[in-house]
């Protein structure tokens, strides 16, 4: 995070839920990038993960990865949507909020639904990554108003949480089923658990530029 050159949290200032969430997204992004979602053909919209110490958070998708097959085979193109929740409560009840994030993707009259988010991503790929129109058309083709027909959209609901005493397998299995009940393809939902010991303490150390060893 030092490479971003952030304004570190002053000593004694509370982290707050918004910053916790942003830091969780920052951690989730780097884990995903390290474990496969990077390389040729991958593009990313970081959202709040790009400003982890901001006191507020912007609406919209948390993290989006786009993979456009470098060989030109559109059948291999994928849109990865990673919604993230961060909690230091070992009961992990906050995991249920991941379901609500996926409800928003289906709302017809919303700037947060899947089609609207893909249109926004087209702008990012065009102006930030300088991709030509054929690539933008391939991105737009990944979405569909009918959730069941979004075969190339992959969902990665992610919980960044306290490790000690937690049961993420049970909680995230419930999340997966509830997201599938909304109509999204069950086979495209891959929940992720990022478990850290003494999470709240570690996030505070991270925000204040201190070394932390769990």
What's the rounded Cα separation, in Å, for the pair 198 and 61?
27
Rg (CA), the chain: 17
In contact, 166 and 130? CB cutoff 8 Å: no
Question: SS3 for 42?
Answer: strand
SS3 210: coil
Task: Tell me the pLDDT tens digit for each residue of 98-156.
Answer: 999 999 998 877 778 899 999 999 999 999 999 999 999 999 999 998 999 999 999 99
Q: What is the pLDDT of residues 48-99, one digit of tens each?
A: 888 888 877 887 789 999 999 999 999 999 999 999 999 999 999 999 999 9
Q: 3-class DSSP state for residue 67?
A: strand
What is the reported pLDDT for 58? 80
Please answer whether residues 98 and 175 qualify as being in contact, where contact means their C-beta atoms are separated by less than 8 angstroms. yes
Q: What residue ranges do the domains of the chain occupy? A: 2-6+15-207
Provide the β-strand partners of residue 194.
160
How much of the chain, in percent, has pLDDT values that exceed 90?
72
pLDDT tens digits, one per residue of 172-198? 999 999 999 999 999 999 999 999 999
């Amino acid at each position: 995070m030092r490479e971003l050159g952030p304004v570190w949290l002053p000593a004694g200032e509370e982290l707050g839920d918004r910053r916790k969430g942003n830091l969780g997204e920052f951690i989730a992004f780097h884990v995903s990038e390290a474990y496969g979602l990077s390389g040729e053909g991958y593009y990313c919209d970081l959202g709040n993960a790009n400003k982890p110490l901001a006191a507020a958070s912007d609406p919209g998708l948390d993290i989006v990865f786009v993979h456009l097959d470098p060989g030109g085979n559109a059948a291999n193109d994928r849109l990865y949507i990673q919604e993230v929740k961060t909690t230091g409560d070992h009961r992990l009840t906050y995991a249920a909020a991941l379901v609500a994030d996926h409800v928003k993707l289906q709302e017809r009259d919303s700037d947060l639904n899947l089609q609207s988010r893909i249109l926004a991503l087209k702008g990012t790929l065009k102006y930030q990554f300088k991709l030509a129109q054929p690539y933008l058309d391939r991105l737009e083709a990944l979405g569909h108003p009918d959730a069941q027909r979004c075969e190339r959209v992959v969902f990665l609901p992610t919980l960044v949480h306290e490790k000690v005493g937690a049961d993420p397998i049970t909680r995230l299995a419930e999340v997966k089923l509830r997201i599938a009940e909304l109509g999204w393809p069950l086979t495209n939902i891959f929940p992720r658990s990022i478990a850290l010991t003494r999470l709240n303490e570690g996030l505070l150390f991270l925000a204040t530029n201190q070394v932390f060893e769990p």
